[in-house]
Structure 1
Amino acid sequence: MRKRIILLVISSLFIGASYAQDSFSGKTEFNHWSIDAGIGLTKPYRNVARGYSTATPDFLAGELGARYMFNEFFGLKAGFVYNNFQAEKSTLDFTTKQYEFDLQGVIGIGRLLRFETWTQTLNLLAHGGFGVGLLDFDLLDDNDHFATALAGLTGQIKLSPRVALNIDGTMGFHVHQNRTWDGTMPRNNEPFVFNGTIGFSYYLGKKAQHADWVVRENEYLALMDERIADLEAQIKKSREEDARKVQEADDQLGRRIDDLDGQVAMLANAGDDDIVGRLINEGYVNIFFDFNSSKIDKGAADAINLLRNYMMKNANVAVNLIGYADEKGTEEYNKKLSTKRAEAVAELLVKSGIDKSRLHSEGKGEDTSVDESSPNARQLARRVTFSIR
């Protein structure tokens, strides 16, 4: 549900502008364009080689862009960002320059929250979008290209009808960055960078006011109420859909358990001399584990004793122990965890008197046969099952 809400907000940044433009066209005269510039400090995080460290904060960060506001609520801006990263004096020396072009949606939070009811000089903008750029390393001949997702807030102080003072904080989350900030090593973490700048907006146009500061009476209230109601309806629908999926998964788990109980009872009543062997081979004997654990708890005693007694009575029987994990974690981690679970059961059987040569342990990793949307269903995946060979 959280992902869907985020997508709704991001969508409103880019498609809400044109919708609002149609709704407000011709009602109030104001300027749309501005030139925004700022200078300040920068700090990259989580991605440097051993022995290197970036200054906190680092000078210089600079940005220059053009912004077009469709109305007082929504707009778009395109910009250029320059960052200069340097080493702490106590660490190995390096300098890296970042050049970036970006396109972002803009929301006039001050107008949405009706700041004009208590101030005529303060405003707040939110912005978010995407960009591309390169890193120029002084320690490396090659440049490193990257893409970035951006989000930030800009506080504004109106100095005149043409000029506003801006204080901006922006976070950029880099993807496809291949090297550390110093350039000496392959990337070891997901990097991100924070820029804090102070600068100005210069408003272009012949009208008396810009969209950042335009004040309407009551013409937009009905539309905003409608938008809020629509967003609330979509969130409610998303929650109901999530609840339905969880309920379906739980119902599926209940049916699976009932079916399991029924088949075990059927086998027990069949009078077969090798009922236990059939139960083992058909997957009805399992050892279940807690999340991210290979520790065998007391609840597994019945299944362990069943398998041990069967192997004691059938000295020629060997058994495969097959471990599984749920979908949480990487493929490599789940492979190791499922192997540890199988080996833990084998070790317990050896301690109970079963010869180690009769046991073969292996981990299969993630069990994809269960419904990932239900925590209860995932419990079935965290197990060791058996087969006779």
Structure 2
Amino acid sequence: MKNRLLLLITLLSVSLTATAQKKKDDKKADKELIAAEPDKEITGDTYNKWSVEIDLGQSKGGKPYAEGYYMSDPDKVLGGFQLNHYGFGVRYMISPKFGLKTHLSYDDIKKLPGSESLDFKVQHIQMTFEGVVNAVRLFDLQDEAKRFGLLFHFGIQASQMSPKMNTAAAPNNKGKKELNGGVIVGVTPAIRLFDNLSLFADIAINSNIRQHFNWDGSYSERSNNLTGSLFTTSLGFSYAFGKQKIHGDWALIQDKKDKEIDALNNRIGEIETLMNDSDKDGVPDYLDAENNSIAGVAVDTKGRMVDKNNNGVPDELEKYVDKTITNNNNTNSATVTNGMLEQLINDGYVAAYFDPNKTQPTTASSDNIGFILNYLKNNPDKSIEIIGYADELGSTAYNNKLSGDRAANVKAILAKAGINPNRLTIVGNGIDDSVDKNSDYARRLVRKVVFKIK
């Protein structure tokens, strides 16, 4: 039992260590990705979530007031302005779209300059607890908005009202206090000045559901609770802090679900690309083992040109050549067919192949060399370049010599078959590294000699 418990503790420790290391590695990878591609959309804790803000502005009590008291004259649309609102807040974004904030404010509610209201002064201290919605991210407008942002906030608030002067309406209320509560809702447009500093404006409406003081400091004549309203407009600065370069309001970020949707869209795009048919042989590229087949030549289900006798020449083209060149004396047909033959030879479809470290062609390559021989005999004005290759095994110097020896041996075969050696040029091209050198089957394809018509 003791050994089992020890084993369980050990496994648990290893698991926790591995999980912690993975999180650490993921964060490191995200940071490296931001440094390399700052505009790339990514997920994770790669942005600052905390911010603090200060704001200054004006607060106006909307209702209620005793008779003869008001902040601005009712017949003036805007009224005057006074700086009587001071605020400080802290915000935390749970995700790029949603967050929480708390805000502490101090307001001196009094008549505005130029107002004909009777004098009054009420101190209002308020603390809010609110949810925040990043509207730009919610509606996926960050690319269009660029440096501009828009937040909505709403929640509950608790406040304290205290008259600061005796008035005709409230001769004995100075210094008294009343605790209120209610709801608050607001909108905050912003513009980013730097990565972690932004300028914002805020418009908020405060509604008290428990209020007995009028905004002039007097008690309401109504015995039940008042529904008081306070309107605040302010300007301020928001500063984000943390280890990252930029705040989440501005970083290019995707939620995990958005990331998954984009990944699915990318997979669909990849599938559409795979369904392309570059050589128009009726076989999609992702199934096409020979993606450069000659147009009009029959292919198998993997897009390979049919070559049942394994001589390196597609059967359908071979039959056409035999019919139109060997047995047809029509000059026009021969000219057209010779052009096709030259393309076939120059594109490497006719080749001689070799076993490892050998300079003599394989037996199966005899037909291909015979094909070149027949072409040269039928076209005595043509010369040919014989180009040898080797696979990647062995040193460069060794393979350079080996490729040249292979080309020389094919030249010797053609010369002994009656072709003037002056029409034959050899080239040793050394290593062909176009295939996986660890694949035996792939290396067979590059131990070869190919031909170029001159």
Larger Rg: 2
TM-score, length-scaled by structure 1: 0.49
More relative contact order in 1 or in 2 (CA 8 Å, sep 6+)?
Answer: 1
Q: Which has the larger strand fraction?
A: 1
TM-score (norm 2): 0.42
